[in-house]
Every structure is written in C-alpha cells, then in structure tokens.
Amino acid sequence: MEIQCPFQIVWEKTAATSFSEFIFQRIAKYGSNLAMVDTGTGKQWRYSELRVWSEMCAERLREMNVNPNSRVAVITSTTGQALFVHFACSIIGANAVCINGWNSIDELWQQVDLSESTHCVVENQFLSKVEDVRRKAIMRGGARIKVIKTLDEVLSDVRITVTPSGRKETRTTSSTPVTDEVNHVSVETPDASTVSLQKQDTENSEEETSESTADEAASIHNFSANHEQSMANRSPFLVFFSSGTTGLPKAIEITHKSLIVNMQQMSIPLFHPPTPKDRFLLALCIHHCFGTFSAYYALMNGATLITIPKYTPKALIEMIRDYKITHVHLTPPMLQTIAYDSYALEDITATLRSIVVSGAPLDSNIVKACRERIQIEDLREAYGMTELGGICTLSYYGCDRLNTVGVPLPGMLMKVVNWETKKLCAPHQPGQLLVSGPQVMPNFYKNPKATAELFDSSGFVKTGDAAYYDENGFIYIMDRIKDIIRYKGTLVCPSEVESILRSHPGIDDCAVVGRQDHVAGEVPAAFVVKNTAHPLLASAEVRQHVSGKIAQFKELRGGVYFISEIPRNICGKIMRRQLKQYWDRERTTTKQDAPNPQVTVVSKEKPRRSSTADSLKPARNNSKAARTKKSVQVSRS
C-alpha cells in the first residue's frame, strides 16, 4: 500500500514567481523583530532589513554580469550571510550553487566545473583557495570562472565594475541609497543581561505569529492536484551536490517550487514549527541542503536565526546556553555530543525545547541517553534526501517513538517494495523505500543516465534505503541497501550490530561492514574506536560483548579492527566504502607489511607511521576519541 500523511493541505495560492518573493511576502509581518545574528562577525539583521539587503546584493551581482540562468558558486561554511546571496540569485533568476568551502582545491574545481558556474562568491577565508581553482581552470584550457568576489564585497553599497576580461576591477560609490535601517548592529556578548537578543518586543511577537489558529486549521484539507499546478516558478534555483557515498558527487537542481512546497509542508501546526518568540540555532553548514532548508524554515516562521562561527562540540553547548536557544536541527554526531560528552548541560535545559535530527541513521541508544540527560520535551528524527527536495518525513511534535523518522509530509506518497520482486510490502516487512511528491528534484544536472536510474517506471524515486512501516504510517529506516551484509543469503543490517557495539563502555564509535568470504559470501566485520579509559580493549572482548545479544549469523566473523576515528561525511554518514579499502590494501601488502596484531596506543604528538592507517584516510569525526590526546592505530587483535 502507499503511505501518506493522515492530514493533507491545499497548497497556498501565491502569486510569487520565485522563492525570494514568496518568503519576503511571508516575513513582512515580522517587521522589526530580530531575524538573524551572525555570531562570527557580530552582525545582526531585522526582518524589515532582509529584503533591502538582498536587493542590494542583487545589484552587486548584476554589476558582476550575473544574468538570469547564470550559475553563481556560493562557497561558504556556516555563515548566514550566504542567504543574502541565495535571495539575490532568486531575484535575478540566477542559480545559486552551494559548495563547501572546506573542500580541497581538487574538490572545489570538480564541483565548480560540474555545475558550470561562471561566478564565485566566497567567504574571505576561502578566497586564496578559489583563486587557485581559477588558475587550475585556466591551466586546463578553460576560463569558465569570470569573476570572484567575497561576501563582504557583494554585501556592500560600493559599486563593482568589472572589465571585459573579468580580472581587473575598479570600485566606485554606488548610487543605490542604503538607509540607516540596514546598517549592521554589533551583538553584545550574551550574559545574564543579554542586550540585543533580549530586546525583542514580545507583544509584537504575539501579534505577528505566522498564522492565526483559525487560519492554520483552515489550511489542513485534502490534497488538490489543481493547486499543485498553480504553484510558482518551476525553474531551477539552488544546486547542491550528492554525498558521493556511491561514487563521484552529482549536481542536484532544486526548483523555486520545491522550496515553496517544502516550507509549507514543514510549517503546518501538526509539526509545531518555531514561532517569533523562538531562537533557532543553525549549527549545520549552509552549503548542505539540510542546513539551508533549516535556515529558511526558521526565517519563514519568524524565529531569530543564530549562526555558529565554526562547529565544535563545545561551541554547540555554549551557543545553546549563552543565546538561550529553543530550537536546533542537528546531525547524529552532534546529538551524540549532547548525549555523552562531559560538558555542563544544566543551563541548556532551561530553554531548549526542540531538537530535530537528520542526515544519517540515528542510534536509539543516543536518543535514550539524550532524553535522560537533558529531559527535552521534543526530540525527533526526520528523513530526507537532496534528491527529494529536502525533508520528506517528520514525527509529530513530542513524539516518543524510537527509531522512526516519522510520517510522510503532506503531499508525499511513499511505498515499500520488495527489493527483488518489486511487489508492495505489508506493514513491518522490509524493502526499498520509494518516494514521490511535488518537491522531488526534476533531474541531475546534465546527467540523464543517473536521472533515469533514480526513478522507477511510475515516477517514484528509488531511495536506496531499506525501510519498513507500521500500521499507523510511521516509517522506519534500517540501512542503505548497498550496505546490508548478505551472510549465506541472510541479511544483516550493520546499524543493528553497531547499536549493540556502542553500548560497550569502552567503545566510542564503530562501523560494521561486510567482508568478502569465499564460503559465506560476506561476513560482518567491525571497525572500532576505543575509549581512552579502555586502552587494552581487545577484539575477543568486543566479540564476547556482541555474542548472545544478536543472532549467531550476525556475529563478527570478519574480525574486529581498531582505528583512531570512523570516516564520515559532513552529515555523519559512515563512509563504508573507505573502510573497505582496508582489505583492498591488505590483499596487496606483503606479510611483513601487515598490521601488527597487537593493539598499539600512539601519542598524537609523535604518531607512528602505518600504511594501513594511511590507506583509510579517515574523515574528520566529532567523537570523544577524536578530541583526546591519544589515538589508536589501525590494528587487529
């Protein structure tokens, strides 16, 4: 059967021709309420200033010869100022290409080239790196990047004049008037008498709620295809990149319509969106769809959006405490910080009311530990993919079900099909999750083959995720189908074994992958990050911990391997392909080059070289082990 939300909505009839026009119409009611605080620069903006700043940025982009359908690479980290460039591109009709500024030069070049970006707007800290990318493009015979400007330059009232070559530029005073209203105001360091953030007019906030209760109730009706057809602009607006867990990243186009629909879906009362009284922390990177959509979601509902300069576990806790945050969206590794790390959390429980987690599978043990530690009233998991146009499932506010990612958002249709027969699955029967909805991406950019492979014959997106659903329509994600281990024809979900491994006090983090075996096909193997309090943890103890808690066919027949950190992408997803390279290297090394069977603790100050460890090239991790003074070499015991 097909699964859908028990409540449906009639899409708002709007004359907006772009996402920027839609959101400016929605936020006009919030007036002088504080809209955004960039704690990295100490600047803040009120809702009445957002449109003026966006239009000023649009003028700067036009001076850079950005035209409708131009592609502007926005290369940033977590700064909320990137949103002005997004809105400016929407005003012009250009595409904003969202790129991670922390990428390597080769990765930046690959994404700029793949998206065919002609202009770049970058944070100051990434300027020299992007200049290297342009030089690399010229050396390869291409001169696609015409102009590179910093955020400070495009958010200025100083005119930009670009010569035909695009390399030499002069600047004159702009004729555009910039009123005092749009000048930045420094944010004082929060303390007991917090100034700027505490000055919001609560009376105005109460009057300027996103919709009245009556209006909200009236918006919940049966879904209407006619209203879907009346939705605004269907042309591309944002370009994101896939995670690359299955190969090279692909460019994903998100339309104006997709964003408008997704904001409406998430903002119905059933899901309890933030209000003008709330403070929403953006701890996520703005170049990822989860971070961008979270920022739009906060602004559309009138909350004060507060950005973090650079994410660290300590900074996350301090920001929630000092800025009295009420709502935050996180990835699972970020939630693990709140659940387990030894920071003083007493002060954050007074204000923090809602946490939504997405980006990677969430261990139920982390959820339980977090709820017990901070007694939060609302901790939910959402499910989404960039290809699906953002978030597509969410639990009701205060839902206490474990492991579920919630119900489909209004307008979304989902079904679970057997991955071999393709027949519909009954409740609690696992299969592949298929999704259809009004905000699903139209295509990968200039990649018709990948686009055709993504959709089935009925137009549903093949998510590649193993899932099941219950009688109430709640969705449960098991694992990526490609990551499921097939032991003698029996399926083993890595996340189930990982959940048991993480319950061991000596294990900080872990990952389970399938190792090729000529008899069984695949056998489960574990990569483990030790807790520094248990430096002598051995594989026999790990195996014993798992034994008896799971079926015998799920036991770790492939071995236990100790490493310093689990490689993850920016959303917290385990890069299992990178871990499997360990055995590729193992096959080509001689017996003398094989890993020492003894567990060796190595100081970070004087690291011991290990070809095995180097072959893994683990990504940055936020686990406790990654922040200690000791790390463990890749070894097997």
CATH of the domain at 433: 2.30.38.10
How many contiguous H segments (helices) and E segments (strands) does the chain have? 19, 30
Confidence of residue 409 (pLDDT cuts 50, 70, 90): very high
- 5 in a structural domain: no
- 36 in a structural domain: no
* The pLDDT of residue 473 is above 60: yes
Tens-place pLDDT, residues 488-533:
888 899 999 999 999 999 999 999 999 998 889 999 999 999 998 8
- 429 in a structural domain: yes
Give this prediction's pTM.
0.79
* The pLDDT of residue 448 is above 90: yes
What mean pLDDT comes out for the span 125-142? 83
Per mean pLDDT, which of 147-151, 161-165, 588-592 is the most reliable? 147-151
* The pLDDT of residue 148 is above 90: yes
CA of residue 321 relative to chain centroid, distance: 23
| Spatial CB neighbours of 450, under 8 Å, sequence gap ≥ 6 | 250, 444
* The pLDDT of residue 132 is above 70: yes
- Point out the domain boundary residue: 462, 481, 500: 481
Q: Are 554 and 522 a contacting pair, CB within 8 Å? A: no
- 567 in a structural domain: yes
Instruction: Compare 274 and 620 and report the one with higher pLDDT.
Output: 274
Can you give the residue range of the structural domain that contains 474? 412-481
* 503 shares a domain with 435: no
The one-letter amino acid at 30:
Y
Distance CA 283, CA 306 (A): 9
CATH of the domain at 496: 3.30.300.30
Q: 136: which strand partners?
A: none
Q: Are 269 and 214 a contacting pair, CB within 8 Å? A: no
What mean pLDDT comes out for the span 302-316? 92
* 593 shares a domain with 468: no
Confidence of residue 119 (pLDDT cuts 50, 70, 90): very high
What mean pLDDT comes out for the span 254-273? 92
* 573 shares a domain with 488: yes
> Of the candidates 36, 57, 53, which has an alpha carbon nearest to the alpha carbon of residue 45?
36
- 585 in a structural domain: yes
* 559 shares a domain with 497: yes
- 491 in a structural domain: yes
* 496 shares a domain with 439: no
Residue 534, Cβ density class (10 Å: 0-12 exposed, 13-18 middle, ≥19 buried): middle
- The 3-state secondary structure of 575-623 reads CHHHHHHHHHHHHHCCHHHCCCCCCCEEECCCCCCCHHHHHHCCCCCCC
* 453 shares a domain with 533: no
Number of separate domains in the chain: 2
Distance CA 38, CA 43 (A): 5
pLDDT of residue 163: 61
- Point out the domain boundary residue: 453, 481, 509: 481
Measured CA to CA in angstroms, residue 533 lies from 350, 536, 596, 625 at distances of 32, 9, 22, 10
* 450 shares a domain with 508: no
Instruction: Compare 300 and 106 and report the one with higher pLDDT.
Output: 300
Confidence of residue 377 (pLDDT cuts 50, 70, 90): confident
DSSP 113: H
- 239 in a structural domain: no
- Point out the domain boundary residue: 481, 505, 524: 481
- 516 in a structural domain: yes
Average of per-residue pLDDT values in the chain: 81
Confidence of residue 138 (pLDDT cuts 50, 70, 90): confident
- H or E stretch including 236? strand 236-241
* 542 shares a domain with 622: yes
In a 13 Å sphere around the CA of 362, the CA atoms on its Cβ side amount to: 30
* 502 shares a domain with 473: no
* 474 shares a domain with 437: yes
* The pLDDT of residue 34 is above 50: yes
Distance CA 606, CA 221 (A): 64
For residue 210, what are its two tokens? Answer: 């996103």
